[in-house]
Amino acid sequence: MTEGNKGVVLITGASAGMGKATTELLLEKGYVVYSAARRIERMLDLEAKGAKLIALDVTDEQSMVNGINRIMEEQGRIDVLFNNAGYGSYGAVEDVTLEEARRQFEVNLFGLSRLTQLVLPHMRRQKSGKIINNSSTGGRIYTPLGAWYHATKHALEGYSDCLRLEVAPFGIDVVVIQPGSIKSEWSNIMLEYVQKTSGKGAYANMTNAYIKMASNMINQASSPYVIGKIVMKAIEAKRPKTRYAAGQFAKPMLFFRRVLTDRMFDRLLYLMLRQSV
């Protein structure tokens, strides 16, 4: 991609938050952006700014096939896939149904992987491309009540490392984004799930403390444009980093996880919970 040919980008989960912010920034820079989400009506403002809209559900095979086919018919190439779609379903392990756990993996990992499979043959053919996977600081750290969400993000981190090795010979980069606390719908959905799942019963006290702690962190959250700028940086880098961490609390939490033992990190989390009570 050169200054005169910015390239074609597909962004999932583009109807809000980091996906929408990234779309807006890339449009301003002259990229051809396909904004994908389940609710296309929520992206009409992006269409007015120049985005091409795709109704796409990462749990629906045919919608993904149709989306990639359309891009190739219209553009003949795809330079960047930003796998941004995902959600956080929190609750104690004892309380979360396995049906919900499987759905979490279906959205956050398997759907992402299937879309990546559909894109890779085209990137291999053009001998270039970038797969950018939106993970989380939660892909390296952990918190109580987030077992299944953290499991999907820890899995995504390992998946991305393996994928990076496999596709590098074809001129394709794989980049992981690790957002910290970011203003988005994700936070409200997470709080709703954890309250509904574990707000009563054996884990009620921990849940209430966690909600207070998380709400305080959400109030200090960074703008989603912080992540949009990082994604654009990764796209425009000739040799991007394998990982970019950004947003409120991201680097401090990753630092603590790196230098503390498991037991010490556990105590840090319990201390944070107690201070929220």
The residues carrying an active-site annotation are: 15, 135, 149, 153
Element of type H or E holding 108: none
3-state secondary structure of 217: helix
**Residue whose token pair is 């970038």:** 130
**Residue whose token pair is 């700028």:** 229
**If you compute the radius of gyration of the chain from its CA atoms, what whole number of angstroms results?**
19
Fill in the DSSP letter of residue 138: G
Strand ranges of the sheet holding 8-11, from the earlier edge strand across to the other edge: 52-55, 32-37, 8-11, 80-83, 129-134, 172-179, 243-246
Give the distance from CA 277 to its chain's centroid.
30
Give the distance from CA 45 to its chain's centroid.
22
**Do the beta carbons of residue 37 and residue 15 sit within 8 Å?**
yes
Q: What is the 3-class SS of 144-188, one letter each residue?
A: CCCHHHHHHHHHHHHHHHHHHHHHHHHCEEEEEEEECEECCHHHH
Give the integer Cα–Cα distance in Å for 272 and 181.
Answer: 15
